[in-house]
Structure 1
Amino acid sequence: MTDFGTILDCLEKASHRTERESGPLRPPPVGTILRGAPPPAPPSDEDRAARVCRAYGVDLPKPPEPPPPAPQPKAAQLPEREEALAELMRAEGSLAKLGALRRRLAWACHPDRQEKSRARQAERLLAEFNAQIDQAVARANPRLPRR
């Protein structure tokens, strides 16, 4: 399999003048060699592709459009206190449900996930929810040692 540069090299070396309108590549004028001017930089692949496309009368392929910018993540909304306590009442008695509720509330109320203005409020809510869940866990499993 050949790469893009190899294909361009082959197209630039086409021998028939009818294939390429630009004609053969010419060496630099003798005066530039004698003056010691640095040789011109080799053309980039984009320049070479544009020259070949012009020679064959083909439009340059348009570069792909950049993807739209990713939406900015929004700060997590704090759960409503009443809704969280209602969920706690529904999860009462099941250690698995209480553990899942604790994880979900910790994720939603974590101060690092909130804007700075709501971080303090989130911290207080999280402490309150954790205390409520600890009490519910203690009631659900009386064999656990109490603090």
Structure 2
Amino acid sequence: MASMKSLSASIQVFSDDTNLDAYDGKTVWTRSPEQTYQVWQLELVGETPAGTGIYTIESTHYKGQCLEATTRDGTVTLKPRSPDKLSQRWVVDTGEEQSTIESKKFPALLITANGEDQAVTLREAAPNAPNQMWTLFDKM
């Protein structure tokens, strides 16, 4: 499994082709790819025993703000970067065409899309759930 030290990418959900969006600088939504705050900086901070990368995911628009899992089954928010916080660490297989984004703080809970213009939440992993499968890509 390939892990990259750092990469800049947009992150699109398989279920409805919407992208993770920093939206208001507080809550993370899935929004139409035509929207703007959708480029993220993934910084490698560790690896699982199987070799999958553990990353912080920072907004490139709201510099210094990273995805954070604050509660089980809650919304994913943006908080000031603090790579030592488990709540800001995410397991992502960047070597796969599609990957889940799993919380390191809450194992087996995945970032889950809830439809266009809706906040993303942490939910229990569901086998092959299209709203839990994400693709990293370069946004033009």
Larger proportion of strand: 2
Bigger CA radius of gyration: 1
Higher RCO (C-alpha 8 Å, min separation 6):
2
| TM-score, structure 2 as length reference | 0.17
Larger proportion of helix: 1
| TM-score, structure 1 as length reference | 0.17
